[in-house]
Amino acid sequence: MKNVLPIVLSLFLSMGIALADDSEFRLLVSQNDGTVGGEYQVKAQIKITDGQPSPKVVNSLTLDVPYGATLTAPADAADLNWFTNDAAVSGYECSLSKLDGYYRILVTSNGVSDGTGWQITNSAWSDIVTLRWVIGSVLPHDVTLTNTTDAAAYYTGTTGDSDAMDWATTPKQGEELKIAAKVFLRGAFSTSTGTMNTTLSNTSPQAIPTNAPYDDKSVASIPTNITDWVKLEIRSQETGPAVNFVSVFLDENGNIVADDGSTLEFLMDSPEGSKNYYFVIHHRNHLPVMSGSTIGLDASSSTQYDFTTGVGQAYGTNALADLKGDGSVFGMFAGDANASDGVNSTDYLAVKNEINTSGYQMGDVNLSGLVNSTDYLIVKPNIGNNSQVPN
Ligand SMILES: [Ca+2]
Ligand SMILES: [Ca+2]
């Protein structure tokens, strides 16, 4: 079983600093290993929104990015990929200081002629720098841009005049988004009842562990009538990384539910706030799936994204199994007993290695509580299928 250490990313990246001239900064998550000792990265970006004049040429800027104790600055220097959207950056001097509890970014334009330096347009976010941390603990951590003195940029106007603009920051907190989704697991699905079995939560003792298999989330007790744990990940783009993820329960009807086992809506912090996200659903011995389109999320209400209604609900080509063979209901491919993101003959071996064992086993691909020959029969029709979730 995979034991990825936590990442309860209660990130409070503040983004979208509104500036006096309607220019903006933001921070975007660009890597999140989700483990203690792994890397956490954000890109600091800048753009202008009023467009007058456009482009504007940056004379200098300063930016302080405080961060919480659960992040540790890595021993090596942060990536100095300044201005990666703009080749015309010669003459600028940049530095990144790792101070106590915050990064300080300084950019100055020594030697740059007026109007010829690093240009910011009103339509594109330009990368300033990528900030890197090591994830130090699993507690919620925060990354914030907090006050009016922490960000300032000065432009050289198109006329050549120094056009200094102090930027007032209006930090936007990360939001706690409301999420709802529905998905079936082929291995646990019954074509006769149209539901999944809940054997693992309804046997005594319960086989589903109180510690989630995907991270270090832990609950006091497992509700009854639960099929298993799944992990729901949100992404900003088709390719990773996850902005955040949570371990949640799946009920017999395919509803992903909160820890009480019944609420059809659950919460996840996102440093990127209200916007459109892709969903990725993971199960320990089924192939992961990603939503075929983005879902608008916010803090006030949720609309359930339903992976069961059509094959097009999942990203890729035939990335969901046709559960009844008539195109009426779909679910995640079963049989990935070795969690390789593909189902092939090696999964038979993984089942064999656990044959006749009971409890919470990877080889128990039909979630019956026992690994036996039936699990071979579940692997078989799924052979040849691979995850279509892009990396
Ligand atoms: Ca496999
Ligand atoms: Ca079984």
Higher-scoring residue by pLDDT: 18, 118: 118
Q: What is the mean pLDDT of the chain?
A: 81
Q: With a cut of 60, say whether residue 164 has pLDDT above it.
A: no
Span from the CA of 335 to the centroid of ligand 1 (angstroms): 7
- Please identify which residue in the block is written with the tokens 């330096």: 117
CATH number attached to the domain at 175-382 = 2.60.40.4130
Write the single-letter amino acid at 32.
N
Shortest-distance ligand to the CA of residue 366: 2
pLDDT tens digits along 310-337: 999 999 999 999 999 999 999 999 999 9
Span from the CA of 254 to the centroid of ligand 1 (angstroms): 23
Residues of each domain in the chain carrying CATH 2.60.40.4130: 175-382
Alpha helices in 163-213 (DSSP H): 199-202
Span from the CA of 25 to the centroid of ligand 2 (angstroms): 52
Span from the CA of 256 to the centroid of ligand 2 (angstroms): 22
Span from the CA of 288 to the centroid of ligand 1 (angstroms): 12
pLDDT for the residue numbered 380: 94
Give the C-alpha separation, 163 to 209, whole Å.
61
Distances in Å between the Cα of 90 and the Cα atoms of 55, 63, 78 are 17, 20, 20
pLDDT for the residue numbered 158: 47
pLDDT for the residue numbered 28: 74
Listed range (17-21, 91-95, 125-129, 195-199) with the worst mean pLDDT: 17-21
Span from the CA of 134 to the centroid of ligand 2 (angstroms): 39
Q: With a cut of 70, say whether residue 21 has pLDDT above it.
A: no
Shortest-distance ligand to the CA of residue 355: 2
Span from the CA of 347 to the centroid of ligand 1 (angstroms): 5
Collapsed DSSP state (helix, strand, coil) of residue 173: coil
Q: Which two tokens stand for residue 233?
A: 């990940």
Shortest-distance ligand to the CA of residue 335: 1
pLDDT for the residue numbered 173: 52
- Top-ranked range on mean pLDDT: pick from 82-96, 147-161, 199-213: 199-213
DSSP string, 145-157: --STTSEEEEEE-
Phi and psi of 66, rounded to 5°?
Answer: -70, 155
Span from the CA of 222 to the centroid of ligand 2 (angstroms): 20
Span from the CA of 386 to the centroid of ligand 1 (angstroms): 8
Write the single-letter amino acid at 75.
A
What residues have their beta carbon closer than 5 A to ion ligand 2? Answer: 364, 366, 368, 375
In sequence order, the 6+-apart residues with CB closer than 8 A to the CB of 189 are: 195, 196, 323, 331
Give the C-alpha separation, 275 to 255, whole Å.
23
Span from the CA of 355 to the centroid of ligand 2 (angstroms): 9
Confidence of residue 132 (pLDDT cuts 50, 70, 90): confident
Confidence of residue 34 (pLDDT cuts 50, 70, 90): low
Shortest-distance ligand to the CA of residue 364: 2
pLDDT tens digits along 97-129: 877 778 888 887 776 665 567 777 777 777 788
Report the run of H or E that residue 351 belongs to, with start and end. helix 345-353
Q: Where does residue 325 rank: exposed (0-12), middle (13-18), buried (19+ CB within 10 A)?
A: exposed
Span from the CA of 110 to the centroid of ligand 2 (angstroms): 68
pLDDT for the residue numbered 117: 72
pLDDT for the residue numbered 52: 63
Write the single-letter amino acid at 160.
G
pLDDT for the residue numbered 49: 65
Span from the CA of 180 to the centroid of ligand 1 (angstroms): 28
- Top-ranked range on mean pLDDT: pick from 25-34, 129-138, 159-168, 238-247: 238-247
| % pLDDT > 70, the chain | 75
Other CB atoms within a 10 A radius of the CB of residue 80 amount to 10
Q: With a cut of 80, say whether residue 273 has pLDDT above it.
A: no
DSSP string, 234-279: EESSSS--EEEEEEEEEETTSBEE-TTS--S-EEEEETT-SEEEEE
Span from the CA of 343 to the centroid of ligand 1 (angstroms): 4
Inter-residue contact 105 to 65 (CB < 8 Å): yes
Residues of each domain in the chain carrying CATH 2.60.40.680: 23-165
Q: Which two tokens stand for residue 46?
A: 């800048």
Query: 213: cis peptide before it, omega within 30°?
Result: no
Listed range (46-50, 104-108, 117-121, 278-282) with the worst mean pLDDT: 46-50
pLDDT for the residue numbered 160: 43
- Which of 150, 125, 186 is closest to 63 using CA atoms? 150
Span from the CA of 113 to the centroid of ligand 1 (angstroms): 58
Q: Give me the mean pLDDT over the 213-223 stretch.
A: 93
Alpha carbons within 13 angstroms on the beta-carbon side of residue 378 total: 29
Shortest-distance ligand to the CA of residue 287: 1
Q: Where does residue 37 rank: exposed (0-12), middle (13-18), buried (19+ CB within 10 A)?
A: exposed
Shortest-distance ligand to the CA of residue 197: 2
* Beta strands 305-306; 181-182: pairing state: parallel
Shortest-distance ligand to the CA of residue 333: 1
CB burial readout 40-61, b (16+ within 10 A) else e: bbbbbbbbbeeeeeebbbbbbb
pLDDT for the residue numbered 76: 56
Q: With a cut of 70, say whether residue 148 has pLDDT above it.
A: no
Q: With a cut of 90, say whether residue 285 has pLDDT above it.
A: yes
Q: Give me the mean pLDDT over the 360-383 stretch.
A: 97
Span from the CA of 338 to the centroid of ligand 1 (angstroms): 5
- State in Å, rounded, how far the first CA of the chain is from the last one: 21
pLDDT for the residue numbered 65: 80
pLDDT for the residue numbered 68: 75
Shortest-distance ligand to the CA of residue 368: 2
Give the C-alpha separation, 17 to 287, whole Å.
39
Shortest-distance ligand to the CA of residue 345: 1
Query: Is CATH 3.40.1080.10 what the domain over 23-165 is classified as, yes or no?
Result: no
